[in-house]
Structure 1
Amino acid sequence: MTSLYDIIHSTLQTQDVVMKQQDIGVLRVSGLDAKKFLQGQTTCDLNKLSQTNGLYGAICSIKGRIISNFYIVQNKDDVLMIMAKDLVEKTLLHLKKYAVFFKTELVDEQDNVKVYKKLAAKNSEADSNVTSNIFATTQDNDTITLTIGHEPLEVQLLITSAKIDIEEKHQDLSALAILTARPLISLEQSETILPQWLNMQSTGGISFTKGCYTGQEIVARMQYKGKSKKQLALVTWQGNLDQTQAIVDEQAKNIGQLFFVTQIKDTYYAQIILNIDPSEAEHLLLDGKELTLLPLPYSLDVKK
């Protein structure tokens, strides 16, 4: 199987990448009850959120489907939720239904906050993924830096005031960030996906010990009693293919769909949602061409 580390170093080499995230927005939750309120609405454990530790999580419907998923940081006494820009309004309206019972305020910060993504190659290939679910956060007067991936490269979100510009570099290589395999869904995908289909049980996105939240019963049942094999996987291929088609096996049976696709020149990288365990299919085919399955940068063991 192709090494993610080899892909990163042959493509990125020693170059750092910095790119403004035009499709990412920020929802600010403030007030005395901000964290208490979010604890009952999100899959992650807000008790673990601090100035130095960010989180990855989701807000679910009562059916357990993801309304939005996000990275979350603490900014002084406020909480910032970083998510797809087209989901900020929907998330705000959903949360407002419950916020009336708490001392909290929700504000769309798209005019006040900018988010950049920074990528850097690592000096050596890690022996394990033990640090892959630590979302270290550093803060100065102007910028919050959240590390969202350690393997196969270091990926950081730089959250800063709209008045501050950060120099962008090698934006064409930012597509490699897809290899961290921790996606943020878009409005089009909202309420269609269970958290486990994005491997969130293995990437720090779900706490199974925190207690109740909206959709918790369905998410927990899927984890411990569910039979769905759907999971996120990584693939690559060369050349343009029809991305509207399903992924099939050698018997032309539908076994999955493309979830998110990026490209660098003629090389495509994609996150896909498979309906089966990858080991059960000898070949993954799209538009008549075989896809190359890539390893995930983390283990699929459950992280509490």
Structure 2
Amino acid sequence: MSTWSTNLTFSPLALSSQDPLPALALSKLDDWGMVTLIGADSKAYLQGQLTCDLVSLEASKSTLAAHCDAKGKMRTVMRIFHIDNGYGYLQRQTVMATQIPELKKYAVFSKTDINQSTDVVLGLSGEQAQSAIDNYFTGSDDVRHNDIATAVKVDNLRWFIITPIEHAETVAQHFAANATLTDTALWNLYDIKAALPRVEAATELEFIPQAMNLQSVNGISFKKGCYTGQETVARAKYRGINKRAMYIVSGESTQCPQAGDALERSVGENWRKGGTVITGYQFNDQQALALVVLPNDLDDDAQFRFASQPDAIWEKHPLPYALDDDA
């Protein structure tokens, strides 16, 4: 394990459900990692594997995408971008050991080298994040590079920062001068509020992309050619067979909801399994938030609970985007 951060303390941030988020925070994202594809055939190969249209991805932009199996079930959700005359993508560490071998399976016929990077992944968040990035990286693109780091924009409040281990402390110290240092939980909270999909080992190969709203965050192209799982993804759009969506829910909890946890929903006077947790966040006042895949035809006032805490009733909240298939 790298010891690059021994001179910095990335601590859990104590937040109540009513507290404002830090104006600038630097999170150590050990549970994220990067994979690189370098070689002349990388674009063509990935185009046949991912849900996004990589051909139209500009060097100044990143995009979400899913890598699916032949049945259209997601192995991962990634954020992909141009780097080092090839591509890099960020995904959860828990799926690395299974997703990378599957991506490599047919790459032997293509000129592309696929490798898990040892680079450190950091997250910069808050209302001052944009200005902090502008002061450290030149240009105005959503993907920026300098001699020792790459920055990838997530939204108006967040950037990923990727840097080799030997430069990680230098980069972190620069932002630490004006930022709150914290662990990955704050990043999870932002992902929940933004309703951004992710796949963990506990949810790998469980859902098609539309069940996590990937079409609503520009992660699916319905105009590109074939890719692994494309038939199922297209059928879900054009035949309306998808019956699930990902929602934000909140309630009282004595523990943080974990990926794969089952959420029950009320059906008359009874309770039955309603959905699967994608990720969660717990505040220090016993309130919690979670992203959960649920049936997409539930009433707005539907109630939910975890079987382990049957007296704590959870509720569904509006999403920050429309659920549509117009990509």
Normalised TM-score (structure 2): 0.79
1:279 aligns with 2:299: yes
SS in 1 for 2:163: strand
CA gap of 1:303–1:18, structure 2 versus 1, over 3 A, is: farther
Q: Pick from 149, 160, 172: which aligns with 1:143?
A: 149
Q: Pick from 257, 260, 277: which aligns with 1:258?
A: 277
Give the Cα separation in 2 of the matches to 1:107 and 1:184: 20
Q: For residues 138-173 of structure 1, what are the alpha-carbon distances to aligned partners after superposition, in whole Å with 9 as ceiling and x for unaligned?
A: 2222222112234xxx12211111222214524264
Give the Cα separation in 1 of the matches to 2:296 and 2:326: 21
1:142-291 superposed matches below 5 A: 142-150=148-156, 154-163=157-166, 164-165=168-169, 166-167=172-173, 169-171=180-182, 173-177=186-190, 178-240=192-254, 244-251=261-268, 252-265=271-284, 266-279=286-299, 281-286=301-306, 287-291=310-314
Match of 1:58 in 2: 66
CA gap of 1:9–1:196, structure 2 versus 1, over 3 A, is: same
The sequence identity of aligned pairs, in percent, is 26
Match of 1:132 in 2: none
1:15 Cα shift?
2.4
SS in 2 for 1:197: helix
Cα pair 1:18 1:174 within 8 Å, conserved: no
User: Which amino acid is 1:158 matched to?
Assistant: I
Match of 1:131 in 2: none
Give the Cα separation in 2 of the matches to 1:280 and 1:224: 25
CA gap of 1:174–1:106, structure 2 versus 1, over 3 A, is: closer
1:115 aligns with 2:121: yes
SS in 2 for 1:51: coil
Gaps of 5+ in 2: 1-14, 130-140
Gaps of 5+ in 1: 1-6, 124-134
- What is the root-mean-square deviation of aligned Cα atoms in Å? 2.5
Cα pair 1:203 1:303 within 8 Å, conserved: no
Cα pair 2:151 2:162 within 8 Å, conserved: yes
Q: For residues 98-144 of structure 1, what are the alpha-carbon distances to aligned partners after superposition, in whole Å with 9 as ceiling and x for unaligned?
A: 111211111111x2x11111221489xxxxxxxxxxx9222222222
Match of 1:127 in 2: none
Give the Cα separation in 2 of the matches to 1:256 and 1:192: 12
SS in 2 for 1:290: strand
Give the Cα separation in 1 of the matches to 2:86 and 2:256: 44
Cα pair 1:255 1:276 within 8 Å, conserved: no
1:34 Cα shift?
0.7
Give the Cα separation in 2 of the matches to 1:202 and 1:36: 25
CA gap of 1:41–1:292, structure 2 versus 1, over 3 A, is: same
1:89 Cα shift?
3.0
Match of 2:91 in 1: 83
1:281 Cα shift?
4.8
CA gap of 1:13–1:255, structure 2 versus 1, over 3 A, is: closer
1:298 aligns with 2:321: yes
The number of residues matched between the two structures is 282
Give the Cα separation in 2 of the matches to 1:206 and 1:245: 27
Give the Cα separation in 1 of the matches to 2:264 and 2:103: 36
Cα pair 1:67 1:91 within 8 Å, conserved: yes
1:175 Cα shift?
4.1
Q: Pick from 92, 107, 122: which aligns with 1:99?
A: 107
SS in 2 for 1:147: strand
SS in 2 for 1:247: strand
Give the Cα separation in 1 of the matches to 2:264 and 2:58: 41
Give the Cα separation in 1 of the matches to 2:85 and 2:220: 23
1:14 Cα shift?
5.0
SS in 2 for 1:117: strand
Cα pair 2:277 2:292 within 8 Å, conserved: yes
User: Which amino acid is 1:117 matched to?
Assistant: G
Give the Cα separation in 1 of the matches to 2:18 and 2:206: 36
Match of 2:5 in 1: none
Normalised TM-score (structure 1): 0.84
